[in-house]
Amino acid sequence: MKVLVYSAKKFELPFLEKANDGSHDFTFITERLTSETAMKALGHKAVSIFSADDPSPIVLEKLKDFGVKYITLRSAGYDNINVAQAKKLGFKVANAPDYSPNAIAEHAVALLQTFNRRIVVSQEQIHKNNFSLDHLVGMDIHNKKVGVMGTGRIGRVLVKIMYGFGCSLFANDTLVDEALQSEYGVTYVSKEELSRQVDILFICLPLTSMTYHLLDASFLKQLENKPIIVNVARGAIVKTVDMFNALNEGWVSGYATDVYEKESGVFFYDHSDDSYIQDPHLIRLLNHPKILLTPHQAFATNEALKNIAEQTIESLHAWDMGKAAKHELQS
């Protein structure tokens, strides 16, 4: 099968090539899938896209006209594609949901502790021969009340990690995980009760119409313990302008995030040689003293990239044999 891989990154190519092992005819391009680049898929039966790509309805129409039948997402999240619309147009779509919840959860804890223990500030200071501790005081994580919004694959791993720290654990989700309740003492509470309880809050939710800007001013001003908020889900779950206000008003002690709601076209690319960054909100994120930002790198481990590649090839193999893919998405 001829496959066009959009948004191909140098770090993932060895994993995709090894998993493919010559089975499919891959073409790698660095460009994102957009309305302008859709024509590059002409002559390809399948495309592989990333979370930053744009398979919007008009783009899907173009892909269909160019003969594409299959779409694989090299990500667990699929909020960037309307699966129902894709299926209506005759596409089969699959994601890579099981690549490594450990990678994401571990990065969340790294964000928490990097912010909490002022690691970035510490490094900046000592490189200037400043070895004082005046601005490096953090807090013990032990005995803190930790909230997890979303106890799916990633949230479950985070619960286990924070249980190891000796934390009291609270969760909010539409589904209650009884195993987490019995084994790790997780207490499921409402979003409002969560806001009253926690010292640390992890966001592990999918982006949907229900979770879009879920953390806005009305929620953030309810936070009683001025928590550190860690986001390893999707940027648009947090209303960025309201987070700035929450930090400035002291409702939130810190925001450590791997995602940003307008990251598309910016994250995953090297803009160090140009003046591409024009977004005033992103500039504020980069310079706010109470914000720690990483460029959507939580998934980037050897194990996760291997699994993403293997699940991508697995879907292509199934479709090539006329079968349904294991991770085929349903509308």
Q: Tokens at residue 78, please?
A: 């699929």
113 and 50 fall within a common domain: no
Residue 226 lies in a domain: yes
Q: Tokens at residue 272, please?
A: 């160090």
The average confidence (pLDDT) of the chain is 96
44 and 91 fall within a common domain: yes
52 and 176 fall within a common domain: no
Residue 120 lies in a domain: yes
139 and 126 fall within a common domain: yes
35 and 178 fall within a common domain: no
125 and 272 fall within a common domain: yes
Domain count, the chain: 2
231 and 306 fall within a common domain: no
Note the pLDDT tens digit of each residue in 269-287: 888 877 768 899 999 999 9
Locus of tokens 């926690």: 198
Catalytic machinery residues: 234, 263, 296
58 and 106 fall within a common domain: no
Note the pLDDT tens digit of each residue in 167-213: 999 999 999 999 999 999 999 999 999 999 999 999 999 999 999 99
Residue 150 lies in a domain: yes
Residue 91 lies in a domain: yes
Note the pLDDT tens digit of each residue in 5-14: 999 999 999 9
Query: Is residue 83 classed exposed, middle or buried when 0-12, 13-18 and 19+ CB atoms within 10 A define those classes?
Result: middle
241 and 313 fall within a common domain: no
Q: Tokens at residue 160, please?
A: 């286990």
Residue 205 lies in a domain: yes
Note the pLDDT tens digit of each residue in 135-151: 999 999 999 999 999 99
Note the pLDDT tens digit of each residue in 213-242: 999 999 999 999 999 999 999 999 999 999
The angle that helices 101-116 and 302-320 make with each other, rounded to 10 degrees, is 150
145 and 71 fall within a common domain: no
| Domain CATH code at residue 25 | 3.40.50.720
Residue 328 lies in a domain: no
Residue 331 lies in a domain: no
Whether 319 shows a pLDDT value over 80: the answer reads: yes
19 and 84 fall within a common domain: yes
Note the pLDDT tens digit of each residue in 100-137: 899 999 999 999 999 999 999 999 999 999 999 999 99
In which domain, by residue range, is 118 found?
101-293
135 and 82 fall within a common domain: no
Residue 327 lies in a domain: no
Locus of tokens 């949901």: 97
